[in-house]
Amino acid sequence: PSGAIYLDGGRIAFARASWVPGLAARLRAISAGLVGPAEMAPRRDGDDADDAAVAGLALQRGYLTPAGLHELIRSIIVDALLVLTVPLAMDAPVAGIRFTSTRTYWTEMFPRLGLDEVREEAFRKAARLAEHGLAPTTAMALCDLRAPAAVLTREQWAVACRIGAHASALDLAARRGAALSDTLECLGSLARAGLCAPVR
């Protein structure tokens, strides 16, 4: 995965990764009618100005409270840090890391998070996800239930309904505009319940 972590005064203002649904996608998942084509000129996916504008619109229209926006941004930052800093394999190569000064669009509505607290949360999630033994790119397929019944949460059911022939957590998170780590957690729970399994 590729991505960027935006720092402001040594604290994280925002982060993005190619494997993580961005802020605009997550906000649109909350309300499909949040941004119409007439309200915002189309921009390339992952545009900082687009994310900031959609966040402002979500607050203005009451789809989200400032606290809700902060929680959503924190989730995106943790997911991005998770895929950018936690190795997928023991000898996973790092193609390049660079620091650059850039213009940002992160206003006061974006929280500034401490690097240590975000890193600790990302590592806690990584440890939980490691128990499932699934990578974001592991393709999963539904399978016949061996037990008489299974009890699913609403989130697990939403993920199971979108698997189709097969899908990875990466695909499902992008389709749903959901957190990658939450999607992986759901897939792991579904696999443990015997409802899906990795495609070999």
Task: Say if residues 20 and 5 touch (Cβ distance below 8 Å).
Answer: no
Give yes or no for residue 126 having a pLDDT over 50.
yes
CA–CA dist 22, 139 (Å, integer): 22
Which spans in 61-179 are helix H? Answer: 66-85, 115-130, 154-161, 169-176
> What is the overall mean pLDDT for the chain?
81
pLDDT in tens, 144-170: 888 788 888 999 998 999 998 889 999
Non-local (6+) Cβ contacts of 7 within 8 A are 13
CA–CA dist 167, 180 (Å, integer): 13
CA–CA dist 27, 8 (Å, integer): 23
Q: 149 or 40: which carries more pLDDT confidence?
A: 149
- pLDDT mean over 109-114: 87
What pLDDT band is residue 182 in, cutting at 50, 70 and 90? very high
Q: 91 or 150: which carries more pLDDT confidence?
A: 150
Instruction: Give the amino acid at 167.
Output: A
